[in-house]
Structure 1
Amino acid sequence: MTGRRWTLRRKLLVGTSALVAAGFLVTSFATILALRSFMLDRLDEQVLESVDLAIGPGGADGVPDDTEPPGEGAPGQTGGSLPDEGPAPRVGSLQAVLGPDDVAVSSSYTRADGVEIALTEGEVAILSAGVKGDRIPATVDLGARIGSFRVAAQTVDDQTVIAGSSLDDVTATTNALIAILACVAGLTLLLAVVGLSLLVRRNLRPLDRVADVAQRVTTRQLDDGNVDIPDRVDPRDTDPDTEVGRVGTSLNDLLGHVQASLTSRQHSEDQLRRFIADASHELRTPLASIRGYAQLSLREDAPMTLTQRRSFDRIESEAERMAALVDDLLLLARLDAGQPLSVEDVELTLLAVDAVSDAHAANPTHDWRLDVSEDLISVPGDANRIRQVLANLLRNAAVHTPQGTTVTTSLGHDTNHAILRVTDTGPGVDPAVTDRLFDRFARGDRARNRETGSTGLGLSIAHAITAAHNGTITVDSAPGHTVFTVRLPLREASSSPTTAAQEPPRVS
C-alpha cells in the first residue's frame, strides 16, 4: 500500500476486524490457560494421593525395608517393592523409591496397555533432579520413551517416595481445545468480516452520495460566467441527527452561499463589462472629433503662436493615444462578453513574415529576425486577432528593450499545436511582476522602461485573444533572454504540416 492512503471504509473494516481478532485471541488464550491450570490442579491432587498410597497407611512404616530380601514382585521392579496390597496402579502413572544415595530401590511405569515397566537409570536421575521438595508438584520430561509427567515426592526416613502421572491427557485436551477454538474463531472472524463489510458499506453509502455531489461540483467550470450550481445533497442524506446528515446539510448551505456569491460577482462583472463597452463606444466619437479639430487647426494657414501649435500637437497625440486605449478596452470588453470570433484558416507563416516586416519598418533601430520553415503552418481562427497578438508581442519587445536589441520571431509546431515564439535579448522582465504580466494595466517599471506611452493592455489583449482561440501564452524571462510563447491548436493532427529538416531561412 505504499503511496496509497486507505479509505474510511477500509480503515473501519480492518480496524474492527483486528479488534474482533484480538478479542478472540485474548479469550482463547485465557480459556486455554484456565483449562490447563484447572487440569494441572486436578492432576496435582491425584499425584499427591498417589504419593500417599505409595507410602501406605502406616506412614513411614509403610515403606518397605531395604534390608528385606527382594521378592519376585511385580514385573519391572528392581528391588524391594512397595506393598502388593492396594488398588492397581493407574495407566500412565509411575512410582519410584529412592535410597539415600538417590539410587532406585524400586521404580515402575504403567503403560497404556496396563503393563508395568521399570525406569532406566537416566530416567531415574532426571526424576530425582526434577523433584523440588516434599509434596511440591513439579513437571518433569523423562524423554521420548515415556514423555512428560507431573510428579511429587515425600521423604520417609532415609528414602524418597516419588509418584507421578503422565501429562499426555492434559496435552491432548489442550491441543484439542486449541484446534476447536482456532476453527471456531476463524470461522466466526470470517463471518464477522463479511458482515462488517456489508454493514460498513451500507452505512457509508450516504457519505458516498454526499462525496459524489461534491465531486460533481468540483468538475464544473465556475469561472466561465455560468454561476448555476444545480447539484445538491438529497434530502434523505441531510438528517441533522446523523453525522453524514450534518455534513450533507452543511454542503448544501455552502453550495447555496457559493452560488449566491458567484451570482453577485457575475452581475457586477456584467455591469462593469457593459459600462466599459458602452463608455468605450461613446468615447470614440468625441475623441475622433477632438483629433479632427486639432488636425484642422494645425493645417490652417492662420497665424499661431509656438505655444498654440505645440498645444494642438499634444492634443492630437494624446487624442490618438486615448483612442487607442479606448479601442483596447472595447476589444477586451467584447472578448470578456464572449463575442464570437470569425473562424478561417490563418497562415501563420505569412502572418509572421508580414508582422516582422511591419515591426522592422516601424522600429529600424532593433535587429528583427525571422526563423520559420518553408512549409506553411495554418490554424483555425480570426486572422486579424491573431495578427494583433503577434503585433502586440513585437511592439512590446520594441518599446521595452533598448536600441540594438535582437528580436527573433520563430514558428514551429508539435503534434497538436502551432508554436509561435518571440525572443529578445533585452534586460528581461522583473521577477516581481512576472506572475501578473498578463493582467490589465500591468507594467514592469523596474525591469523595463515606462517612458514609452504604453497603456499596459497589450499583453492582456494578447492573452485574451489567445484564450479565445483555446490557446495559451507564457513567458520565460532572464536577463538577456526573454521568450514569449504562444501555442494555438491546429485544426486536425492529421492535417498538421511537417517541418522540413533543412535549416530554416532567417530574415533580418
Structure 2
Amino acid sequence: MSELAVPASRSEALAPMDLNPMGKGTLSRKLVLRVAGLVMLLALLLGTASTVAVRHQLIANVDAKLATAMQSPDRYYDTDRKNFGDRMPPGTEVGQIIMMVSPSGDQGRILIDDSEQLATTVAQQLSSFSSTEPKTIHLDGLDKDYRAASRPTPYGTQIIALPLDVVNHSLKQLVITELALTAAALVGAILLARALVSSALKPLNRLAATATEVSNLALDRGEVALPQRVADADADPANEVGRVGYAFNHMLENVEGALATRQESETKVRQFVADASHELRNPLAAIRGYSELTRRSRDEMPQDTAFAMGRIEAESTRMSRLVEDMLLLARLDNDPSLDLTETDVVEVVLNAVSDAQVAGPTHEWSVDLPEQPVVARADALKLHQVVANLLANARKHTPAGTHVETRVSTDSGNAVIMVIDDGPGVDESIKDTAFERFARADTARAHNQEGSTGLGLAIVAAVMEAHGGSARLDSQPGHTCFTLTIPLV
C-alpha cells in the first residue's frame, strides 16, 4: 500500500538540542577522557620511574652497609676466633644475620634476634648460599626479604644478610603516596579539562543553534530571508572553530543568494503563466464561439471539414479548461488568500456528488454523511472545486460500473472528506508525484476520452494548503482513497 500526503515538502521542525556535554559519543566527553587518560598514563610512568629509582638508591645504601660489614668480620667472633659471640657487636644493623659455615660443611652459630629456634630454620636455608656479590633473597623462616653476601675466610664461609624491611616499607609508602597523588591529579585533570573543553566548544554549540534556526525556516517556496548568522567572534578564521563559523556564514550567504535568484525566477515564470493564461482566454473564447457557430451548417459542409471543425471545438474547450486551471494555480501561488467563511462541508459534498452523477451516469455513486452538520472555515467555491476535481478524477480514470463513495466525518478538530473508488488504482509511475503539476500516467486509469490536463490534483493540493489542511492519497489495485482535511470552525 502506498500513501502520499500533501503538503509534505518539509520535514518536521528540528527542536533545539539540549546536549549533555559529557553525554555518550560527544566530542567533549572524548576530549576529556583522552586528556584524563594521558594524565593517568604520565602519572603512572613517572611514578614507576621514581619508584624504581628510589628502590635502586635504597638497595645501594643497603649494599654499602653490607660491604662495610663484610670488611670487618673480626668484631663478630668470640675470643678463640672459632665462632661468634653470644650477642651482636655494637653498631650491628637491627635484624642483621651473621653465619659461619665451616670448610667441612658444618654450620657454625648464627646470631639473629637471640632466637636459636628461628636461627636453626634460617641456617638451613642460608647454608647453601654462596655469592660474593650482594643478592636479594627471601628467607621463608622469617618471611622477609634480605640482602645477603658471602665471603670465604680461614675458618669457613662467612655469610652476612641485612634486612630489607626499611626498604620495602619505604617503597610501600612511596607507592601509596604516588597512587593518591595520581588519583588527585586525575580528578583535577578531568574537572579542569571539562571546564576548558566546554569553554572551547561553546562557539560550536552557538553555531549548532544558528544551524537549527536556519533548518526550521520555510525555504521551499516564497521569498526567503536568512538574517541568521554566526557572530563575528565565532567566525574568526584564525582558529579552527572560527573557520567553521566563517565557512557557515559564507554558505548562508550563497544559499540566500540562490534562494533570491530562485524566487525571482519563479516569480517571473508565475507572472508569465498568469499573463499568458489571461491573454489566452479571449482568443480561445473566440475560437470556441466561432467553432460552435459552425454547428448550424455542419450538415452542409464536406465531411472532412465538419470533422475538423468538431475537433477544433473539442480541443479549444480542453485548452480553455487547461488555461483556467493554470490561471487558478498562478493566482494561488501569487496570493493564496481565500474567501474563508463558515461552510457546511456536507452541503458542498452533496452538490459535488450530484454534479458527478449527471456527468458520469455509468458509475455508481454513493455518500456516507453524518447526521449533524460539519462546519469548516473554508472557501465554499474552492472547496466545491476540489471535491469536484476528485470525483471527476475517479470518473475519468476508472471503467464504467466503478463504485465511487464519498464520506464526510470529523477527526481531531478537522473536517475529513474521503473519495473512495474500487477501480484499478493509481499507476505506479505517478503514485509518488500524483499531486505535482502535469503528473499524468501513460496508461493507468485512462478509461475516459475526456483526457486530463494533469493539473486537477495539483489544484487540490494547492487549495488544501491554502486552507491550512492537507490532501492524502492511499492507493492499491481495487482501492483508491483521496483524503482531504480542513480545520473545523
TM-score (norm 1): 0.81
**SS in structure 1 at match of 2:486:** strand
Moved more, 292-301 or 15-24: 292-301
* Residues 135 and 154, structure 1, Cα contact 8 Å, conserved in 2: no
Q: Following the alignment from structure 1 to structure 2, what is the Cα–Cα distance between the partners of residues 214 and 412?
A: 41
Residues 84 and 277 of structure 1, relative CA distance in 2, 3 Å threshold: closer
Asked if 1:431 is matched to 2:434, the reply is no
Q: Following the alignment from structure 1 to structure 2, what is the Cα–Cα distance between the partners of residues 58 and 122?
A: 18
Q: Following the alignment from structure 2 to structure 1, what is the Cα–Cα distance between the partners of residues 460 and 127?
A: 100
Which 5+ residue runs of structure 1 have no aligned equivalent? 66-79, 111-115, 492-508
Moved more, 236-245 or 167-176: 236-245
Asked if 1:173 is matched to 2:170, the reply is yes
**SS in structure 2 at match of 1:191:** helix
Q: CA deviation at 1:133?
A: 4.2
Q: CA deviation at 1:376?
A: 3.1
Counterpart position of 2:395? 398
Moved more, 398-407 or 482-491: 482-491
- The root-mean-square deviation of aligned C-alpha atoms, in Å, is 3.3
Counterpart position of 2:376? 379
Aligned positions of 1:296-311 closer than 5 A = 296-299=293-296, 303-311=300-308
Asked if 1:418 is matched to 2:421, the reply is no
Counterpart position of 1:29? 48
Counterpart position of 1:501? none
Asked if 1:317 is matched to 2:336, the reply is no
Counterpart position of 1:469? 467
1:126-153, Cα deviation, whole Å (9 max, x unpaired): 733894745441230536x664333334
Q: Following the alignment from structure 2 to structure 1, what is the Cα–Cα distance between the partners of residues 128 and 364?
A: 107
Q: Following the alignment from structure 2 to structure 1, what is the Cα–Cα distance between the partners of residues 35 and 333?
A: 56
Counterpart position of 1:460? 458
Counterpart position of 1:489? 487
Counterpart position of 1:330? 327
Q: CA deviation at 1:193?
A: 3.2
* 1:81 alignment partner AA: F
Counterpart position of 1:151? 148
**SS in structure 2 at match of 1:149:** strand
Residues 297 and 62 of structure 1, relative CA distance in 2, 3 Å threshold: farther
Counterpart position of 1:120? 118
Q: Following the alignment from structure 2 to structure 1, what is the Cα–Cα distance between the partners of residues 143 and 462?
A: 96
* 2:98 alignment partner AA: Q
Q: CA deviation at 1:122?
A: 7.6
* Residues 140 and 151, structure 1, Cα contact 8 Å, conserved in 2: no
Counterpart position of 1:281? 278
* 1:169 alignment partner AA: V
Q: Following the alignment from structure 1 to structure 2, what is the Cα–Cα distance between the partners of residues 444 and 130?
A: 104
Counterpart position of 2:59? 40
Counterpart position of 1:109? 112
* 2:472 alignment partner AA: T
* Residues 342 and 382, structure 1, Cα contact 8 Å, conserved in 2: yes
1:454-476, Cα deviation, whole Å (9 max, x unpaired): 11111111111111122222222
Q: Following the alignment from structure 2 to structure 1, what is the Cα–Cα distance between the partners of residues 182 and 128?
A: 37
**SS in structure 2 at match of 1:374:** coil
Q: Following the alignment from structure 2 to structure 1, what is the Cα–Cα distance between the partners of residues 288 and 80?
A: 143
* 2:416 alignment partner AA: I
Higher relative contact order (CA 8 A, sep 6+): 2
* Residues 43 and 182, structure 2, Cα contact 8 Å, conserved in 1: yes
**SS in structure 2 at match of 1:420:** strand
Q: CA deviation at 1:19?
A: 1.1
* 1:288 alignment partner AA: A
Counterpart position of 2:35? 16
Residues 122 and 256 of structure 1, relative CA distance in 2, 3 Å threshold: farther
1:51-79, Cα deviation, whole Å (9 max, x unpaired): 554x54899x99954xxxxxxxxxxxxxx
1:364-421, Cα deviation, whole Å (9 max, x unpaired): 2222232343233332221222222222122112111222222232333332433332
Moved more, 94-103 or 232-241: 94-103
Q: Following the alignment from structure 2 to structure 1, what is the Cα–Cα distance between the partners of residues 403 and 157?
A: 115
Q: Following the alignment from structure 1 to structure 2, what is the Cα–Cα distance between the partners of residues 261 and 324?
A: 35
Q: CA deviation at 1:40?
A: 2.1
Residues 120 and 385 of structure 1, relative CA distance in 2, 3 Å threshold: same
Residues 431 and 301 of structure 1, relative CA distance in 2, 3 Å threshold: closer
TM-score (norm 2): 0.84
1:27-54, Cα deviation, whole Å (9 max, x unpaired): 112111221222123223333444554x
Among the aligned pairs, what percent are the same residue? 36
Q: CA deviation at 1:170?
A: 1.3
Matched pairs, number: 467
**SS in structure 2 at match of 1:199:** helix
Counterpart position of 2:339? 342
